Structure 1
Protein backbone atom coordinates (compact mmCIF):
# COMPACT_ATOMS: atom_id res chain seq x y z
CA UNK A 1 0.00 0.00 0.00
CA UNK A 2 1.42 3.39 -1.01
CA UNK A 3 0.42 6.38 1.12
CA UNK A 4 0.56 9.48 -1.08
CA UNK A 5 0.13 13.17 -0.43
CA UNK A 6 -3.04 13.01 -2.51
CA UNK A 7 -4.43 10.29 -0.26
CA UNK A 8 -3.62 12.24 2.89
CA UNK A 9 -5.08 15.43 1.43
CA UNK A 10 -8.28 13.65 0.45
CA UNK A 11 -8.61 12.29 3.98
CA UNK A 12 -8.19 15.77 5.42
CA UNK A 13 -10.86 17.16 3.12
CA UNK A 14 -13.13 14.25 4.02
CA UNK A 15 -12.65 15.01 7.72
CA UNK A 16 -13.71 18.62 7.16
CA UNK A 17 -16.82 17.48 5.33
CA UNK A 18 -17.65 15.03 8.11
CA UNK A 19 -17.31 17.81 10.67
CA UNK A 20 -19.93 19.85 8.80
CA UNK A 21 -22.28 16.86 8.70
CA UNK A 22 -21.67 16.30 12.38
CA UNK A 23 -23.09 19.69 13.28
CA UNK A 24 -26.15 19.17 11.09
CA UNK A 25 -27.05 15.83 12.68
CA UNK A 26 -26.49 17.05 16.22
CA UNK A 27 -28.94 19.86 15.58
CA UNK A 28 -31.51 17.41 14.22
CA UNK A 29 -31.29 15.15 17.26
CA UNK A 30 -33.28 17.54 19.43
CA UNK A 31 -31.62 16.67 22.76
CA UNK A 32 -28.55 17.70 24.71
CA UNK A 33 -25.41 16.31 23.12
CA UNK A 34 -21.80 16.10 24.29
CA UNK A 35 -19.17 18.25 22.65
CA UNK A 36 -17.93 16.01 19.82
CA UNK A 37 -14.50 17.05 18.54
CA UNK A 38 -13.75 14.09 16.26
CA UNK A 39 -15.78 14.46 13.03
CA UNK A 40 -15.83 10.71 12.44
CA UNK A 41 -18.51 10.32 15.09
CA UNK A 42 -22.17 11.29 14.80
CA UNK A 43 -22.04 11.62 11.01
CA UNK A 44 -25.38 9.79 10.84
CA UNK A 45 -28.12 9.24 13.41
CA UNK A 46 -27.34 6.23 15.57
CA UNK A 47 -29.73 3.65 16.97
CA UNK A 48 -29.72 5.00 20.52
CA UNK A 49 -30.81 8.26 22.05
CA UNK A 50 -28.16 10.11 24.02
CA UNK A 51 -29.98 9.27 27.26
CA UNK A 52 -29.86 5.54 26.41
CA UNK A 53 -26.13 5.34 25.77
CA UNK A 54 -23.90 3.78 28.45
CA UNK A 55 -22.42 6.46 30.68
CA UNK A 56 -18.62 6.52 30.53
CA UNK A 57 -18.54 8.73 33.63
CA UNK A 58 -20.07 5.83 35.57
CA UNK A 59 -18.22 2.97 33.89
CA UNK A 60 -14.71 4.41 33.71
CA UNK A 61 -12.41 6.00 36.22
CA UNK A 62 -10.02 8.85 35.37
CA UNK A 63 -7.02 8.27 33.08
CA UNK A 64 -3.68 7.32 34.67
CA UNK A 65 -1.96 10.10 36.58
CA UNK A 66 1.67 11.15 36.49
CA UNK A 67 3.95 8.94 38.58
CA UNK A 68 1.57 5.96 38.71
CA UNK A 69 2.20 2.36 37.67
CA UNK A 70 -0.68 2.70 35.20
CA UNK A 71 1.06 5.54 33.37
CA UNK A 72 4.32 3.57 33.40
CA UNK A 73 2.43 0.74 31.71
CA UNK A 74 1.19 3.18 29.06
CA UNK A 75 4.74 4.32 28.38
CA UNK A 76 6.00 0.75 28.23
CA UNK A 77 3.29 -0.19 25.72
CA UNK A 78 4.19 2.84 23.60
CA UNK A 79 7.90 1.99 23.59
CA UNK A 80 7.09 -1.57 22.52
CA UNK A 81 5.53 -0.23 19.30
CA UNK A 82 8.53 1.89 18.25
CA UNK A 83 10.09 -0.88 16.07
CA UNK A 84 6.83 -1.06 14.08
CA UNK A 85 7.00 2.50 12.79
CA UNK A 86 7.15 2.61 8.98
CA UNK A 87 6.49 -1.17 8.87
CA UNK A 88 3.58 -2.94 7.17
CA UNK A 89 1.81 -2.95 10.56
CA UNK A 90 2.28 0.84 10.80
CA UNK A 91 0.70 1.18 7.34
CA UNK A 92 -2.22 -0.97 8.45
CA UNK A 93 -2.66 1.34 11.44
CA UNK A 94 -2.86 4.18 8.89
CA UNK A 95 -5.84 2.48 7.19
CA UNK A 96 -7.45 1.51 10.49
CA UNK A 97 -7.42 5.18 11.50
CA UNK A 98 -9.80 5.96 8.63
CA UNK A 99 -13.37 5.68 9.91
CA UNK A 100 -14.85 7.19 6.76
CA UNK A 101 -16.87 4.86 4.57
CA UNK A 102 -16.18 2.76 2.55
CA UNK A 103 -12.73 2.24 4.11
CA UNK A 104 -14.15 1.55 7.57
CA UNK A 105 -16.13 -1.37 6.15
CA UNK A 106 -13.21 -2.74 4.14
CA UNK A 107 -11.09 -2.80 7.31
CA UNK A 108 -13.23 -5.75 8.48
CA UNK A 109 -13.98 -7.45 5.16
CA UNK A 110 -11.07 -9.89 5.31
CA UNK A 111 -12.00 -11.01 8.81
CA UNK A 112 -15.65 -11.34 7.77
CA UNK A 113 -14.69 -13.45 4.74
CA UNK A 114 -17.18 -11.36 2.78
CA UNK A 115 -16.75 -7.92 1.30
CA UNK A 116 -18.77 -5.47 3.41
CA UNK A 117 -20.09 -2.80 1.07
CA UNK A 118 -23.06 -0.81 -0.14
CA UNK A 119 -23.70 -3.19 -3.05
CA UNK A 120 -23.07 -6.66 -1.62
CA UNK A 121 -24.24 -6.13 1.99
CA UNK A 122 -26.19 -2.84 2.05
CA UNK A 123 -28.00 -3.50 5.34
CA UNK A 124 -24.78 -4.36 7.17
CA UNK A 125 -23.00 -1.39 5.59
CA UNK A 126 -25.70 0.98 6.84
CA UNK A 127 -25.64 -0.68 10.28
CA UNK A 128 -21.92 0.01 10.61
CA UNK A 129 -22.47 3.71 10.02
CA UNK A 130 -25.28 3.96 12.54
CA UNK A 131 -23.36 1.97 15.16
CA UNK A 132 -20.31 4.21 14.66
CA UNK A 133 -22.31 7.14 16.02
CA UNK A 134 -23.39 5.19 19.10
CA UNK A 135 -19.93 3.82 19.84
CA UNK A 136 -18.24 7.17 19.39
CA UNK A 137 -20.74 9.18 21.42
CA UNK A 138 -20.53 6.72 24.31
CA UNK A 139 -16.95 7.87 24.99
CA UNK A 140 -17.47 11.61 25.17
CA UNK A 141 -18.55 12.03 28.78
CA UNK A 142 -15.08 11.04 29.99
CA UNK A 143 -13.33 12.51 26.95
CA UNK A 144 -14.76 15.94 27.66
CA UNK A 145 -14.19 15.80 31.41
CA UNK A 146 -10.49 14.89 31.32
CA UNK A 147 -9.37 15.96 27.83
CA UNK A 148 -6.29 13.76 28.15
CA UNK A 149 -3.29 14.76 26.05
CA UNK A 150 -2.30 12.25 23.39
CA UNK A 151 1.08 10.49 23.37
CA UNK A 152 2.32 12.11 20.15
CA UNK A 153 1.77 15.54 21.73
CA UNK A 154 3.43 14.60 25.03
CA UNK A 155 6.49 13.23 23.20
CA UNK A 156 6.49 15.81 20.39
CA UNK A 157 6.35 13.10 17.72
CA UNK A 158 4.30 12.24 14.66
CA UNK A 159 1.46 9.77 14.26
CA UNK A 160 0.78 7.42 11.38
CA UNK A 161 -1.77 10.00 10.11
CA UNK A 162 -0.31 13.47 9.72
CA UNK A 163 -3.59 14.59 8.12
CA UNK A 164 -5.52 13.87 11.34
CA UNK A 165 -3.14 15.36 13.89
CA UNK A 166 -4.73 18.82 14.03
CA UNK A 167 -8.08 17.26 14.99
CA UNK A 168 -6.50 14.86 17.48
CA UNK A 169 -4.72 17.67 19.33
CA UNK A 170 -8.06 19.07 20.45
CA UNK A 171 -9.83 15.74 20.97
CA UNK A 172 -9.33 13.99 24.30
CA UNK A 173 -7.27 10.82 24.17
CA UNK A 174 -9.16 8.85 26.86
CA UNK A 175 -11.03 6.68 26.04
CA UNK A 176 -10.37 5.78 22.41
CA UNK A 177 -13.44 6.24 20.26
CA UNK A 178 -11.82 4.38 17.36
CA UNK A 179 -11.33 1.40 19.67
CA UNK A 180 -14.91 1.55 20.97
CA UNK A 181 -16.11 1.39 17.38
CA UNK A 182 -13.73 -1.36 16.31
CA UNK A 183 -14.44 -3.60 19.29
CA UNK A 184 -18.18 -2.96 19.16
CA UNK A 185 -18.29 -3.77 15.45
CA UNK A 186 -16.32 -6.97 16.04
CA UNK A 187 -18.73 -8.11 18.77
CA UNK A 188 -21.71 -7.55 16.48
CA UNK A 189 -19.99 -9.11 13.46
CA UNK A 190 -19.22 -12.23 15.49
CA UNK A 191 -22.97 -12.68 16.00
CA UNK A 192 -23.68 -12.09 12.32
CA UNK A 193 -21.06 -14.59 11.16
CA UNK A 194 -20.23 -16.91 14.08
CA UNK A 195 -18.14 -19.20 11.88
CA UNK A 196 -15.65 -16.32 11.62
CA UNK A 197 -15.95 -15.13 15.21
CA UNK A 198 -12.31 -15.80 16.12
CA UNK A 199 -11.05 -13.88 13.08
CA UNK A 200 -13.49 -11.03 13.65
CA UNK A 201 -12.74 -10.66 17.36
CA UNK A 202 -9.00 -10.82 16.70
CA UNK A 203 -9.39 -8.10 14.06
CA UNK A 204 -11.37 -6.01 16.53
CA UNK A 205 -8.59 -6.30 19.10
CA UNK A 206 -5.95 -5.38 16.53
CA UNK A 207 -8.05 -2.45 15.35
CA UNK A 208 -7.73 -0.97 18.82
CA UNK A 209 -4.02 -1.76 19.05
CA UNK A 210 -3.55 0.15 15.81
CA UNK A 211 -4.25 3.31 17.82
CA UNK A 212 -1.25 2.62 20.07
CA UNK A 213 0.93 1.66 17.09
CA UNK A 214 -0.16 4.87 15.33
CA UNK A 215 1.01 6.87 18.39
CA UNK A 216 -2.46 8.43 18.60
CA UNK A 217 -3.56 6.78 21.87
CA UNK A 218 -2.21 5.35 25.09
CA UNK A 219 -2.84 1.69 25.93
CA UNK A 220 -5.21 2.66 28.76
CA UNK A 221 -7.25 4.70 26.24
CA UNK A 222 -7.63 1.56 24.14
CA UNK A 223 -8.54 -0.60 27.15
CA UNK A 224 -11.22 1.89 28.17
CA UNK A 225 -12.48 2.14 24.59
CA UNK A 226 -13.11 -1.60 24.55
CA UNK A 227 -15.21 -1.29 27.71
CA UNK A 228 -17.37 1.38 26.07
CA UNK A 229 -17.66 -0.61 22.85
CA UNK A 230 -18.85 -3.67 24.77
CA UNK A 231 -21.25 -1.65 26.93
CA UNK A 232 -22.77 0.03 23.89
CA UNK A 233 -23.16 -3.32 22.12
CA UNK A 234 -25.00 -4.71 25.14
CA UNK A 235 -27.40 -1.75 25.02
CA UNK A 236 -27.89 -2.12 21.26
CA UNK A 237 -29.01 -5.72 21.81
CA UNK A 238 -32.14 -4.38 23.52
CA UNK A 239 -33.11 -2.08 20.65
CA UNK A 240 -35.81 -3.55 18.33
CA UNK A 241 -34.70 -1.57 15.26
CA UNK A 242 -31.13 -2.75 15.71
CA UNK A 243 -32.26 -6.35 16.21
CA UNK A 244 -34.27 -6.23 12.98
CA UNK A 245 -31.23 -4.93 11.12
CA UNK A 246 -29.08 -7.60 12.75
CA UNK A 247 -31.38 -10.33 11.44
CA UNK A 248 -31.34 -8.84 7.95
CA UNK A 249 -27.55 -8.48 8.01
CA UNK A 250 -27.17 -12.18 8.93
CA UNK A 251 -29.22 -13.10 5.87
CA UNK A 252 -27.13 -10.81 3.66
CA UNK A 253 -23.87 -12.32 4.82
CA UNK A 254 -25.16 -15.87 4.40
CA UNK A 255 -26.20 -15.03 0.85
CA UNK A 256 -22.81 -13.49 0.10
CA UNK A 257 -21.02 -16.54 1.54
CA UNK A 258 -23.11 -18.81 -0.67
CA UNK A 259 -21.91 -16.90 -3.73
CA UNK A 260 -18.30 -17.53 -2.59
CA UNK A 261 -17.32 -14.01 -3.59
CA UNK A 262 -13.81 -12.88 -2.71
CA UNK A 263 -13.85 -10.27 0.10
CA UNK A 264 -11.01 -7.93 -0.89
CA UNK A 265 -7.86 -8.47 -2.98
CA UNK A 266 -5.21 -7.85 -0.32
CA UNK A 267 -6.15 -10.18 2.56
CA UNK A 268 -2.74 -11.84 2.44
CA UNK A 269 -1.08 -8.45 2.90
CA UNK A 270 -3.32 -7.69 5.87
CA UNK A 271 -2.53 -11.06 7.45
CA UNK A 272 1.19 -10.47 7.00
CA UNK A 273 0.94 -7.02 8.58
CA UNK A 274 -0.99 -8.35 11.55
CA UNK A 275 1.64 -11.02 12.13
CA UNK A 276 4.30 -8.37 12.83
CA UNK A 277 5.05 -7.87 16.50
Structure 2
Protein backbone atom coordinates (compact mmCIF):
# COMPACT_ATOMS: atom_id res chain seq x y z
CA UNK A 1 0.00 0.00 0.00
CA UNK A 2 1.23 3.44 -0.81
CA UNK A 3 1.92 6.43 1.40
CA UNK A 4 0.00 9.54 0.52
CA UNK A 5 1.47 13.05 0.60
CA UNK A 6 -0.54 15.87 2.13
CA UNK A 7 -1.10 17.65 -1.17
CA UNK A 8 -4.29 16.71 -2.98
CA UNK A 9 -2.52 16.10 -6.29
CA UNK A 10 -0.05 13.60 -4.89
CA UNK A 11 -2.74 11.89 -2.82
CA UNK A 12 -4.81 11.42 -5.96
CA UNK A 13 -1.88 10.02 -7.93
CA UNK A 14 -1.01 7.49 -5.29
CA UNK A 15 -4.66 6.64 -4.70
CA UNK A 16 -4.69 5.46 -8.31
CA UNK A 17 -2.16 2.81 -7.37
CA UNK A 18 -4.32 1.90 -4.38
CA UNK A 19 -7.25 1.30 -6.71
CA UNK A 20 -5.33 -1.23 -8.75
CA UNK A 21 -3.77 -3.25 -5.97
CA UNK A 22 -4.49 -1.61 -2.59
CA UNK A 23 -1.22 -2.93 -1.32
CA UNK A 24 1.10 -0.41 -2.88
CA UNK A 25 2.86 2.13 -0.69
CA UNK A 26 5.45 4.19 -2.48
CA UNK A 27 7.85 6.64 -0.85
CA UNK A 28 6.93 9.17 1.81
CA UNK A 29 5.16 9.12 5.16
CA UNK A 30 1.47 8.44 5.56
CA UNK A 31 -0.46 11.04 7.50
CA UNK A 32 -2.99 9.41 9.79
CA UNK A 33 -4.67 12.84 9.86
CA UNK A 34 -5.15 13.07 6.11
CA UNK A 35 -6.61 9.86 4.67
CA UNK A 36 -6.40 9.43 0.89
CA UNK A 37 -9.27 10.00 -1.46
CA UNK A 38 -10.56 6.75 -2.93
CA UNK A 39 -10.59 6.70 -6.74
CA UNK A 40 -13.63 5.65 -8.81
CA UNK A 41 -12.10 2.34 -9.86
CA UNK A 42 -12.07 1.27 -6.20
CA UNK A 43 -15.39 2.83 -5.34
CA UNK A 44 -17.59 0.82 -7.70
CA UNK A 45 -21.33 1.29 -8.07
CA UNK A 46 -22.32 1.53 -4.41
CA UNK A 47 -19.17 2.97 -2.87
CA UNK A 48 -18.56 5.63 -0.32
CA UNK A 49 -15.31 7.62 -0.43
CA UNK A 50 -14.14 6.50 3.02
CA UNK A 51 -14.26 3.61 5.43
CA UNK A 52 -16.35 3.29 8.57
CA UNK A 53 -13.64 4.65 10.84
CA UNK A 54 -12.09 8.08 11.18
CA UNK A 55 -8.29 8.10 10.99
CA UNK A 56 -8.06 8.60 14.76
CA UNK A 57 -10.17 5.46 15.30
CA UNK A 58 -7.94 3.10 13.33
CA UNK A 59 -5.83 0.58 15.25
CA UNK A 60 -2.25 1.73 15.74
CA UNK A 61 -0.23 -0.94 13.96
CA UNK A 62 3.06 0.50 15.18
CA UNK A 63 1.92 0.13 18.80
CA UNK A 64 0.28 -3.28 18.32
CA UNK A 65 3.01 -5.06 16.39
CA UNK A 66 6.53 -5.98 17.48
CA UNK A 67 9.34 -4.98 15.11
CA UNK A 68 9.93 -7.39 12.23
CA UNK A 69 12.66 -9.98 12.87
CA UNK A 70 16.10 -8.42 12.42
CA UNK A 71 18.76 -10.02 10.21
CA UNK A 72 20.69 -12.88 11.79
CA UNK A 73 17.87 -13.55 14.27
CA UNK A 74 16.01 -16.84 14.76
CA UNK A 75 12.84 -15.14 13.54
CA UNK A 76 14.48 -14.07 10.30
CA UNK A 77 15.94 -17.54 9.83
CA UNK A 78 12.39 -18.85 10.07
CA UNK A 79 11.23 -16.29 7.51
CA UNK A 80 13.98 -17.39 5.14
CA UNK A 81 13.16 -21.07 5.62
CA UNK A 82 9.46 -20.52 4.95
CA UNK A 83 10.24 -18.37 1.93
CA UNK A 84 12.35 -21.16 0.48
CA UNK A 85 9.76 -23.84 1.28
CA UNK A 86 6.93 -21.86 -0.31
CA UNK A 87 8.80 -21.21 -3.55
CA UNK A 88 6.87 -22.99 -6.30
CA UNK A 89 7.43 -23.22 -10.05
CA UNK A 90 5.54 -20.71 -12.20
CA UNK A 91 2.54 -22.29 -13.82
CA UNK A 92 1.81 -24.74 -11.00
CA UNK A 93 -1.76 -24.67 -9.73
CA UNK A 94 -0.82 -23.09 -6.40
CA UNK A 95 1.39 -20.49 -8.09
CA UNK A 96 -1.47 -19.63 -10.45
CA UNK A 97 -3.83 -19.21 -7.50
CA UNK A 98 -1.29 -16.96 -5.79
CA UNK A 99 -1.04 -14.82 -8.91
CA UNK A 100 -4.83 -14.46 -8.96
CA UNK A 101 -4.84 -13.56 -5.26
CA UNK A 102 -2.25 -10.85 -5.91
CA UNK A 103 -4.76 -8.87 -7.99
CA UNK A 104 -6.54 -6.46 -5.62
CA UNK A 105 -8.73 -4.89 -8.29
CA UNK A 106 -11.94 -4.58 -6.33
CA UNK A 107 -14.31 -6.38 -8.71
CA UNK A 108 -11.89 -9.31 -8.87
CA UNK A 109 -11.19 -9.30 -5.14
CA UNK A 110 -14.88 -9.60 -4.22
CA UNK A 111 -14.88 -13.06 -5.83
CA UNK A 112 -12.28 -14.39 -3.38
CA UNK A 113 -14.76 -16.02 -0.99
CA UNK A 114 -17.47 -17.04 -3.51
CA UNK A 115 -16.83 -20.77 -3.25
CA UNK A 116 -16.09 -20.80 0.47
CA UNK A 117 -19.17 -18.76 1.37
CA UNK A 118 -21.43 -20.36 -1.23
CA UNK A 119 -22.63 -17.16 -2.87
CA UNK A 120 -21.30 -14.40 -5.09
CA UNK A 121 -21.36 -10.78 -3.87
CA UNK A 122 -22.81 -8.45 -6.49
CA UNK A 123 -23.30 -4.66 -6.46
CA UNK A 124 -26.92 -5.02 -7.58
CA UNK A 125 -28.07 -8.12 -5.68
CA UNK A 126 -26.03 -7.56 -2.51
CA UNK A 127 -25.46 -3.78 -2.42
CA UNK A 128 -25.03 -3.55 1.35
CA UNK A 129 -22.45 -6.34 1.36
CA UNK A 130 -20.62 -4.65 -1.50
CA UNK A 131 -20.49 -1.43 0.48
CA UNK A 132 -19.43 -3.34 3.58
CA UNK A 133 -16.53 -4.92 1.72
CA UNK A 134 -15.43 -1.63 0.19
CA UNK A 135 -15.48 0.33 3.42
CA UNK A 136 -13.90 -2.39 5.54
CA UNK A 137 -11.17 -2.84 2.92
CA UNK A 138 -10.27 0.81 3.29
CA UNK A 139 -10.19 0.60 7.09
CA UNK A 140 -8.12 -2.57 7.12
CA UNK A 141 -5.72 -1.25 4.52
CA UNK A 142 -5.21 2.09 6.24
CA UNK A 143 -4.60 0.34 9.56
CA UNK A 144 -1.40 -1.24 8.21
CA UNK A 145 0.16 2.05 7.14
CA UNK A 146 1.79 3.27 10.32
CA UNK A 147 3.98 0.20 10.86
CA UNK A 148 4.51 -0.37 7.14
CA UNK A 149 5.94 3.10 6.63
CA UNK A 150 7.92 3.08 9.86
CA UNK A 151 9.80 -0.18 9.25
CA UNK A 152 10.02 -0.06 5.43
CA UNK A 153 11.06 -3.69 5.41
CA UNK A 154 12.66 -5.11 2.27
CA UNK A 155 10.55 -7.71 0.50
CA UNK A 156 11.91 -11.21 -0.18
CA UNK A 157 11.92 -10.90 -3.96
CA UNK A 158 14.06 -7.77 -3.60
CA UNK A 159 16.36 -9.32 -1.00
CA UNK A 160 16.85 -12.39 -3.20
CA UNK A 161 17.03 -10.48 -6.51
CA UNK A 162 14.06 -12.49 -7.74
CA UNK A 163 10.56 -11.89 -9.05
CA UNK A 164 6.95 -12.20 -7.92
CA UNK A 165 3.95 -13.89 -9.48
CA UNK A 166 2.40 -10.50 -10.35
CA UNK A 167 5.03 -8.55 -12.31
CA UNK A 168 3.01 -5.40 -12.87
CA UNK A 169 3.21 -4.56 -9.14
CA UNK A 170 6.92 -5.17 -8.73
CA UNK A 171 8.20 -1.66 -9.44
CA UNK A 172 5.97 -0.19 -6.74
CA UNK A 173 6.65 -3.02 -4.30
CA UNK A 174 10.38 -2.41 -4.43
CA UNK A 175 9.91 0.82 -2.49
CA UNK A 176 6.96 -0.37 -0.43
CA UNK A 177 7.47 -1.70 3.09
CA UNK A 178 6.84 -5.41 3.47
CA UNK A 179 5.74 -5.44 7.14
CA UNK A 180 2.87 -5.94 7.76
CA UNK A 181 1.31 -7.50 4.68
CA UNK A 182 -1.63 -5.47 3.41
CA UNK A 183 -2.87 -8.31 1.21
CA UNK A 184 -2.92 -10.68 4.16
CA UNK A 185 -4.68 -8.12 6.32
CA UNK A 186 -7.45 -7.61 3.78
CA UNK A 187 -7.88 -11.33 3.14
CA UNK A 188 -8.03 -12.22 6.83
CA UNK A 189 -10.23 -9.25 7.72
CA UNK A 190 -12.73 -10.19 5.04
CA UNK A 191 -12.61 -13.82 6.18
CA UNK A 192 -13.63 -12.73 9.67
CA UNK A 193 -16.43 -10.61 8.23
CA UNK A 194 -17.70 -13.39 5.95
CA UNK A 195 -17.82 -15.82 8.87
CA UNK A 196 -20.29 -13.48 10.56
CA UNK A 197 -22.42 -13.33 7.45
CA UNK A 198 -22.29 -17.09 6.78
CA UNK A 199 -21.34 -18.70 10.13
CA UNK A 200 -22.19 -22.24 8.97
CA UNK A 201 -19.45 -21.84 6.33
CA UNK A 202 -16.87 -20.56 8.81
CA UNK A 203 -14.29 -23.33 8.40
CA UNK A 204 -14.18 -23.01 4.61
CA UNK A 205 -14.12 -19.22 4.78
CA UNK A 206 -11.30 -19.08 7.31
CA UNK A 207 -9.30 -21.64 5.34
CA UNK A 208 -9.66 -19.46 2.24
CA UNK A 209 -8.56 -16.40 4.21
CA UNK A 210 -5.51 -18.31 5.45
CA UNK A 211 -4.63 -19.43 1.93
CA UNK A 212 -5.05 -15.89 0.62
CA UNK A 213 -2.32 -14.70 2.98
CA UNK A 214 -0.10 -17.67 2.18
CA UNK A 215 -0.35 -16.72 -1.48
CA UNK A 216 1.94 -13.81 -0.62
CA UNK A 217 4.61 -16.34 0.37
CA UNK A 218 4.14 -18.29 -2.84
CA UNK A 219 4.39 -15.00 -4.74
CA UNK A 220 7.72 -14.20 -3.02
CA UNK A 221 6.20 -10.82 -2.13
CA UNK A 222 6.16 -11.14 1.69
CA UNK A 223 7.88 -12.91 4.56
CA UNK A 224 5.97 -15.19 6.90
CA UNK A 225 6.18 -12.66 9.73
CA UNK A 226 4.66 -10.03 7.41
CA UNK A 227 1.67 -12.29 6.79
CA UNK A 228 1.21 -13.06 10.48
CA UNK A 229 1.39 -9.36 11.35
CA UNK A 230 -1.19 -8.58 8.66
CA UNK A 231 -3.62 -11.01 10.25
CA UNK A 232 -3.07 -9.39 13.64
CA UNK A 233 -3.91 -5.95 12.29
CA UNK A 234 -6.91 -7.34 10.42
CA UNK A 235 -8.32 -8.85 13.62
CA UNK A 236 -7.71 -5.60 15.51
CA UNK A 237 -9.48 -3.59 12.82
CA UNK A 238 -12.50 -5.89 12.62
CA UNK A 239 -12.76 -5.80 16.42
CA UNK A 240 -12.73 -2.01 16.28
CA UNK A 241 -15.32 -2.00 13.49
CA UNK A 242 -17.76 -3.76 15.78
CA UNK A 243 -17.87 -0.59 17.85
CA UNK A 244 -19.23 1.33 14.85
CA UNK A 245 -23.06 1.35 14.58
CA UNK A 246 -22.95 1.62 10.78
CA UNK A 247 -20.78 -1.46 10.48
CA UNK A 248 -23.06 -3.45 12.77
CA UNK A 249 -26.13 -2.42 10.77
CA UNK A 250 -24.45 -3.40 7.52
CA UNK A 251 -23.44 -6.80 8.91
CA UNK A 252 -27.10 -7.55 9.75
CA UNK A 253 -28.30 -6.34 6.35
CA UNK A 254 -25.59 -8.33 4.58
CA UNK A 255 -26.67 -11.47 6.41
CA UNK A 256 -30.16 -11.01 4.98
CA UNK A 257 -28.81 -10.34 1.50
CA UNK A 258 -26.66 -13.46 1.58
CA UNK A 259 -29.70 -15.69 2.08
CA UNK A 260 -31.12 -14.37 -1.20
CA UNK A 261 -27.90 -14.23 -3.20
CA UNK A 262 -27.29 -16.73 -6.01
CA UNK A 263 -24.52 -19.34 -5.74
CA UNK A 264 -21.33 -18.95 -7.76
CA UNK A 265 -21.67 -19.85 -11.44
CA UNK A 266 -21.70 -23.59 -12.15
CA UNK A 267 -18.27 -25.09 -12.68
CA UNK A 268 -16.33 -22.28 -10.99
CA UNK A 269 -15.76 -24.10 -7.69
CA UNK A 270 -13.68 -27.25 -7.37
CA UNK A 271 -15.15 -30.01 -5.27
CA UNK A 272 -13.41 -30.51 -1.94
CA UNK A 273 -10.90 -33.35 -2.06
CA distance in 1, matches of 2:259, 2:218: 34
Moved more, 42-51 or 121-130: 42-51
- Counterpart position of 2:203: 198
From 48, 55, 60, the equivalent of 1:50 is 55
Asked if 2 retains the 8 angstrom alpha-carbon contact of 1:41 and 1:137, the reply is no
Shift of 1:44: 3.8
User: What's 2:34 paired with?
Assistant: 33
Match of 1:65 in 2: 70
**Corresponding residue SS for 2:33:** coil
1:81-100 alignment runs, 5 A limit: 81-100=86-105
- SS at structure 2 position matched to 1:199: helix
Please show how residues 118-129 of structure 1 align to structure 2 within 5 Å.
Answer: 118-129=123-134
SS class of match (1:82):
coil
Could you tell me which residue of structure 2 aligns to residue 255 of structure 1? 260
Runs of 4+ with >4 A deviation = 14-17, 40-43
Q: Which residue matches 1:18?
A: 19
In structure 2, how many angstroms separate the alpha carbons of the residues matched to 1:180 and 1:247?
A: 23
| 2:269 is aligned with 1:267 | yes
Structure with more of its chain in helix, by fraction: 1
- The alpha-carbon deviation at position 165 of structure 1 amounts to 0.5
More displaced, 91-100 or 221-230?
91-100
Name stretches of at least 5 consecutive residues in structure 1 with no aligned partner.
1-13, 22-29
Is structure 2 residue 174 aligned with structure 1 residue 172?
no
SS in 1 for 2:138: helix
Counterpart-to-counterpart distance in 1, 2:34 and 2:96: 34
Q: Deviation digits for residues 104-137 of structure 1, max 9, x if unmatched? A: 1111111110011213322111211111111011
- The answer on whether the counterparts of 1:112 and 1:196 sit within 8 Å (CA) in structure 2 is yes
Kindly state the Cα deviation for residue 249 of structure 1 after the two structures are TM-superposed: 0.2
Q: How does 1:233-244 map to 2 (within 5 A)?
A: 233-244=238-249
TM-score, length basis structure 1: 0.81
Question: Do structure 1's residue 187 and structure 2's residue 187 form an aligned pair?
Answer: no
Q: CA deviation at 1:41?
A: 8.7
| Aligned residues between the structures | 243
Contact 1:44 1:129 in 2 (8 A): no
What CA RMSD, in Å, does the superposition of the two structures yield over aligned residues?
A: 2.7
Q: Bigger shift: 64-73 or 82-91?
A: 82-91
TM normalised by structure 2 equals: 0.82
C-alpha displacement of 1:61 = 1.1
Contact 2:19 2:106 in 1 (8 A): no
Please list every run of 5 or more consecutive structure 2 residues that lacks an aligned counterpart in the other structure: 1-14, 23-30
Instruction: Report the 3-state secondary structure (helix = DSSP H, G, I; strand = E; otherwise coil) of the residue aligned with 1:160.
Output: coil
SS of residue in 2 equivalent to 1:99: coil
Measured against aligned partners, the alpha-carbon deviations of 1:1-25 in whole angstroms (never above 9, x if no partner) come to xxxxxxxxxxxxx964837x9xxxx
Name the CA distance, whole Å, in 2 between partners of 1:225 and 1:132.
13
Distance 2:123 2:194 in 1: 16
Question: 1:162-206 deviations in whole A, cap 9, x for unaligned?
Answer: 011111112100000111111010001101100101111111111
Question: How does 1:99-114 map onto structure 2 within 5 Å?
Answer: 99-114=104-119
- Does the CA contact (< 8 Å) of 2:88 and 2:218 recur in 1? no
